[in-house]
Amino acid sequence: MRPTPYVASLRIYEPIDSFEPAERLRWNSIPITATTGIDEQSRAMRRTITVEPPALVADGAHILEFEGKRYVAPWTTATRCISALEDFQASMPETVGKFFVPSNVAEAISINAEEVEDKVPYIKTDTWMIPPRWFGLFEPDERLRGETVDGPFTVMRTSIANAKRRCMFTHQSVISAFGEGPIEEEIADLLEWLNIFHAESIVECDYGGLAGYLEKILINDGLGGLEADTSIEDIQLSLNGLASGDGAKAGEGYERLVSRWRKVAAMEQSN
């Protein structure tokens, strides 16, 4: 079982040639069969129970090989830890936040913060839900489904050029329909993030352990498990509806998508 079965990930894999020589040497030493997903989650779990400063030490990475070329998505653990702490503290009043994040923990996490603040995380994560805007980056034929020893899985992969083009379409559709606002800003932030990386990168969305929860929900609903998951098709229907001014179509696709993932999110309360 995955150490953190409630986490989904959006990853950027850059060509190994785009990294510095020392990093290329390190990434080339990772076997393509290495269980990097389990290793990353295990480290994340350790950080939740120990005060481990995210200093600039040797970090891991996820590896892909495509058409004889190696692609790498570094974990960027330090950057993500600092970003998560900042987001958590920003979500509550300063006078309250200190009780959730003791000073010794905050100090440990902030070690070398200035050195990593300009580094961009290659991986975005979300818990118990996959943001609808992530689905807009992919086409149905870019979706891989199956089962491993860890259970059911769904992974979507495409070129970063495709992802950026589709993200721009999503942004324009939302702007045209609703104007500026929180949803539009989230899509714009996603596009800005994609624009940072190498032009030959690969974008991957991994359901992680959420695939297992979704499989059970779809089967309980009398459907064929993950094969019945139409999340990409639903967001496409919604975006096409927005682009054409068909509110009924836009609402139908979005409601179908969100209602499915609300059921997954509800599993948090039963665990």
Same domain, 217 and 142: yes
pLDDT digits (tens, 9 = 90+) for 132-158: 999 999 999 999 999 988 889 999 999
| Within a domain: 245 | yes
pLDDT digits (tens, 9 = 90+) for 79-114: 555 555 555 566 667 666 666 656 655 665 555 555
Q: Residue 76: what pLDDT?
A: 73
Same domain, 254 and 148: yes
Burial of 73 (0-12, 13-18, 19+ CB in 10 A): buried
Eight-class DSSP state of 121: P
Among 201, 200, 148, 165, smallest CA distance to 10 is for 201
Name the CA radius of gyration of the chain, rounded: 19
Signed CA dihedral, 252, 255, 259, 265: sign only: positive
| Within a domain: 1 | no
Residue 213 three-state SS: helix
CA distance 180 to 173: 11
Of the residues 124, 155, 174, the one at which a domain ends = 124
Same domain, 101 and 167: no
Same domain, 99 and 208: no
Q: Residue 198: what pLDDT?
A: 96
Same domain, 271 and 153: yes
| Within a domain: 57 | yes
CA distance 195 to 18: 15
| Within a domain: 4 | no
Q: Residue 56: what pLDDT?
A: 46
Range 181-185 average pLDDT: 94
Q: Which residues are CB-contacts of 265 (< 8 A; sequence separation ≥ 6)?
A: 128, 129
Range 226-249 average pLDDT: 96
Same domain, 136 and 201: yes
Same domain, 119 and 141: no
Give the percent of the chain with pLDDT over 70. Answer: 73
Q: Which residues are CB-contacts of 215 (< 8 A; sequence separation ≥ 6)?
A: 151, 152, 225, 226
Q: Residue 269: what pLDDT?
A: 74
Of the residues 124, 144, 172, the one at which a domain ends = 124
User: What range does the domain containing 146 cover?
Assistant: 128-271
Of the residues 84, 103, 124, the one at which a domain ends = 124
Domain count, the chain: 2
CA distance 105 to 98: 10
| Within a domain: 227 | yes
Residue 217 three-state SS: helix
Same domain, 62 and 185: no
pTM score of the predicted model: 0.82
Q: Residue 75: what pLDDT?
A: 83
